[in-house]
Structure 1
Amino acid sequence: MIEKRLFEILPDGRKVHCWRLSSSDGAGLTVMDLGATILSLEVPDRDGALANVVLGYDRAETYLDDPHYLGAVIGRFANRIAGGRFTLDGTEHRLAVNDPPNALHGGVTGFDKRLWHGNARTTDEGESVCFTLVSEDGDQGYPGTLEASVRYTWTQDHRLLVEYAAAADAPTPFNPTQHSYWNLSGASSPDVLDHLLTIAAGCYLPVDTNLIPTGEFASVSASPFDFREARPIGRDIEAAHPQLEIGSGYDHCFVLDGSGFRQAATLADLASGRRMTVHTDMPGMQLYSGNFLGPVANGRGEETLRRRSAVALETQFFPDSPNQPHFPDAILRPGERFASRTVNAFDVVDN
């Protein structure tokens, strides 16, 4: 049975609710309507012990000022748009700049700060909550009224299905992603540098000093960005490489191999045995190694957010796509229906 409860009443009087989706062994996740955010996600280790593997906060109000987008759905446009502006069909649009000089993750009041409408039900695949949101014309500078939804489904075999849909009444960039930070040792563990990461990508997007893609598709071969075979996240993170110096670690979009719904990445913690496999139909995945998670921001309970204490694997279109025509098209037009699916599947591996 899906559990719904009042999570918190915000200072402005808005009520924030959360839902618990679980399988018969107790594994599952808790989501809230503020930001359509994943608050926690518990999966078993090789001995069957459950642990929460995502970062989060105790209080809903904390998420209103969260600079890290913990667990939230990002929109209208995940990642950065250069200079907070783009030209679409001959008209220039200026966006809310919240990462000077760029627009980041939808603007000052992006989808992560909005209160979505949640509706829960049990489906053939598992327990599910669908969140819906209307983003009005001009919201954060984006054109057109956009109706968006994200559905979370938790299955008995420990798969998290994240399904996006949207339609708009005018051409507009649209690039949603889910911004959970993962630590498969448990969210209170100190870092993820020993986690083994595999990314099905032969190229990544180098960035300039403002973290905007230069437009080049760079080969990962013979570089710290080659995750085609499993390697620890921390193996080369301090290497003397100009791209790592720009981002203080990994904060780059990988050009995923192939097309359609396919495997994008695996993340494994050999100590606990937990493994997460990511499948998606999106063209890219941003790897962010939590380089600016700092000791000032307090996490859940007595936990403290620490640098590189978790990693984000954000399936998405490429950053700055509205300004780079050779990137995959991230414009949603009237009469079209956007639909995308990412699946995070959890299992265990031997030592």
Structure 2
Amino acid sequence: MFKRWLTAVMMTGMALHAMGQVTKAAFGKMPDGQGVDIYTLKSPQVEAKVMTYGAKLISIKTADRTGKVADVMLGFDTLPEWLKDKTYNGAVVGRYGNRIALGQFKIDGQTYQVPTNDGPNALHGGPVGFDKKLWTAKQVPNGVELTLISPDGDMGFPGKLTAQVTYTLKGSALRIDYRMTTDKATVVNLTNHTYFNLTGGTEDILGHQIRINANHYTPTSKTLIPTGNMDVVEGTPMDFRTAHAIGERISANFEQLTVAGGYDHNWILNGPNGVMKLAAEVVEPKSGRTLTVTTTEPGVQFYSGNFLDGSLTGRGGVKYTKRMGLCLETQHYPDSPNKPGFPTTLLKPGEVRTSSTVFTFGVAH
């Protein structure tokens, strides 16, 4: 009897310890008065903060090779600053992450229109996407689960979509699990849009060395819509099969870099869709900080912060100018609803769409 009681107490203590790595705090209020909360996830190696507005990552702290801890993502200190941010930083973007040509797509012969907000195209779900919604949240072991119900017709997308996004932190690995269901056929492509800077935000990202596990990428038109081709990276500045500094070839005389103003492309990851695989590895030589991205998604959008223009001032008074952050958005390919040769983003009633991405932080000595 005593042993059973002692075992129960120990197991309860272990559970409390695991849950104790997650704390909740109020962060402010939306203009309509709704409260916004922050969940802080802690491990010995990493501290991450998640906000209920936009299901956003708003802080990731980890140490360099000397033990100095710094925030390795761009961000702000107050909710009003986050509400003004138009860069999608840290957010779960949807219902369709990345671009849809002309904001149009067809399902079963019916045409749907999403409001355009990126020249002629729809970007990240339209003008009021998931990044601008208040998600409901509950604490789970080592993390937080956020839920959003997007009604039928939201931004022109069909079907009531239920999206669940769970952030968990174990050791140096920050994991994001996505789960989506619908009551009507729709398209969905959720991703996370964090801007990383492994210097701690003190310098631009041009010195970061990156490797991308991809033999092919999807070239784009002048409006950054994939042409439908799947070009080989070999012999081009898009070849990151071995590590290169981001700034090494970013200004090369190469049409795709000229069109995008740098890197803003989808790489086709080596390995099957739905299986966890390496997407990218990043090393910042001065600090020694590293980031490894693994995912079940078929692609990753590497974005080199081409459109950051200095209009935003982040933590520590740092101006977020061009190339101050990089994004590694694990995803299905842009404009997949209009590209039959791309992996489908169609979700039907009765189906459950899941995907997972893990950001693992470390130090290279």
TM-score tier (shorter): over 0.9
What amino acid does structure 1 have at the position aligned with 2:26? L
**Separation of aligned partners in 1, 2:253 and 2:48:** 39
What amino acid does structure 2 have at the position aligned with 1:202? N
**Separation of aligned partners in 1, 2:289 and 2:151:** 41
**1:174-213 mapped onto 2 (5 Å cutoff):** 174-187=188-201, 189-213=202-226
* Residue of structure 1 equivalent to 2:99: 80
- Higher relative helix content: 2
Matched, 1:22 2:42: yes
* Residue of structure 2 equivalent to 1:71: 90
8 A Cα contact 1:135 1:146, kept in partner: yes
**Separation of aligned partners in 2, 1:199 and 1:261:** 15
1:261-303 alpha-carbon deviations (Å, 9 max, x no partner): 1111101111111111111010010010000111112222412
**Separation of aligned partners in 1, 2:140 and 2:144:** 6
Matched, 1:231 2:250: no
8 A Cα contact 1:78 1:316, kept in partner: yes
Structure 2 regions of 5+ residues with no counterpart?
1-19
**Separation of aligned partners in 1, 2:255 and 2:347:** 35
What amino acid does structure 1 have at the position aligned with 2:197? N
What amino acid does structure 1 have at the position aligned with 2:146? F
CA RMSD of aligned residues (A): 1.0
% identical equivalent positions: 44
**Separation of aligned partners in 1, 2:116 and 2:363:** 42
Matched, 1:95 2:114: yes
1:185-206 alpha-carbon deviations (Å, 9 max, x no partner): 102x220111110000001111
8 A Cα contact 1:77 1:173, kept in partner: yes
* Residue of structure 1 equivalent to 2:185: 171
Matched, 1:251 2:264: yes
* Residue of structure 2 equivalent to 1:215: 228
Q: How far 1:79 moved relative to its partner?
A: 0.4
Q: 1:313 aligns with which of 307, 328, 351?
A: 328
Q: How far 1:63 moved relative to its partner?
A: 2.9
Greater C-alpha radius of gyration: 2
Q: How far 1:213 moved relative to its partner?
A: 0.3
Q: TM-score, normalised by structure 2?
A: 0.92
Q: 1:115 aligns with which of 134, 141, 151?
A: 134
1:323-343 alpha-carbon deviations (Å, 9 max, x no partner): 000000111111100110000
Q: 1:134 aligns with which of 149, 154, 159?
A: 149
What is the number of residues matched between the two proteins?
Answer: 343
Q: How far 1:69 moved relative to its partner?
A: 0.3
* Residue of structure 2 equivalent to 1:324: 339
Q: 1:48 aligns with which of 64, 67, 70?
A: 67
Q: How far 1:99 moved relative to its partner?
A: 1.0
**Separation of aligned partners in 1, 2:151 and 2:309:** 34
